[in-house]
Amino acid sequence: DQQVKQNSPSLSVQEGRISILNCDYTNSMFDYFLWYKKYPAEGPTFLISISSIKDKNEDGRFTVFLNKSAKHLSLHIVPSQPGDSAVYFCAARGIQTGANNLFFGTGTRLTVIP
Amino acid sequence: DGGITQSPKYLFRKEGQNVTLSCEQNLNHDAMYWYRQDPGQGLRLIYYSQIVNDFQKGDIAEGYSVSREKKESFPLTVTSAQKNPTAFYLCASSISGRDYGYTFGSGTRLTVV
């Protein structure tokens, strides 16, 4: 059962516009959320994270919003650049004794059109 | 520079042969993980290890085996029992703390013919 879901497999955005990537989760015990960016044939790299005690975290062009009541988070990229074209994975971690596991979504492929 | 190294980047094996994928990290991380990526499936956890000489099955451990004899190393063996071994395999490591994410290797693409 997929506990972290990214329902949009792909997204295309014009350069300079905003990209919004969405993620939903089902486990109310998740308390820490991360976004990873992945280029083809490479490992994912950490992008930005947010704790459940916050509803927003910003790092340069990247902002993550968390809506706990809706079990939804989103990643905003403003302005979008061609180098942002990649697959973005949402991940979540829960309160699990003795474990340190991240649950990943299926990813959204972002294409930024020059 | 500290990092996590997976080798080889591409690996071809005949059906029925066991194959071992290497994962080495010099980040002094306690925890290490193996994930498998298939198209449209995201990242699925195969095995993880929180400390040396201990490891746990993930969601899709059948047909795989691991060892953790050293903190730096977490090799994954894909056995002949794995029904669909062709995939992109990712190794990751992390500090065993609450607020840290993973550092990933660059992956190994295994093709079984």
- C-alpha span between B89 and B108 (Å, rounded): 5
- C-alpha to C-alpha distances, B41 to A79, B27, B46, nearest whole angstrom: 29, 29, 13
Sequence-separated (6 or more) residues with CB below 8 Å from residue A2: A105, A106, B42
Pairing of strands B87-94, A10-14: unpaired
Residue B78 near residue B60, CB atoms below 8 Å: no
pLDDT for res B33 = 94
- Which chain B residues touch A2 with a CB distance below 8 Å? 42
Per-residue burial over A65-86, b = 16 or more CB atoms within 10 Å of its CB, e = otherwise: bbeeeebebbbbbeebeeebbb
Sequence-separated (6 or more) residues with CB below 8 Å from residue A101: A93, B33, B45, B48, B58
Q: Are A43 and B48 a contacting pair at CB < 8 A?
A: no
Q: Which residue of B42, B58, B90 is in closest CB contact with A43?
A: B90
pLDDT in tens, chain B (113 residues): 679 999 999 999 998 899 999 999 999 999 999 999 987 778 899 999 989 999 999 989 999 999 999 999 999 999 988 889 999 999 999 887 655 688 999 999 999 98
- Which chain B residues touch A9 with a CB distance below 8 Å? 40
Q: What is the DSSP letter of B30?
A: S
What HEC string does B77-104 produce? Answer: EECCCCCCCCEEEEEEEECCCCCCCCEE
- How do residues A70-107 score in pLDDT, each as one tens digit? 999 999 999 999 999 999 999 998 766 445 678 899 99
- Which chain A residues touch B106 with a CB distance below 8 Å? 41-43
Two tokens, residue B91: 């190794």
- pLDDT-based confidence at A31, cuts 50/70/90? confident
User: Which chain A residue's Cα is nearest to B47?
Assistant: A101
- pLDDT-based confidence at A68, cuts 50/70/90? very high
- C-alpha span between B34 and B13 (Å, rounded): 19
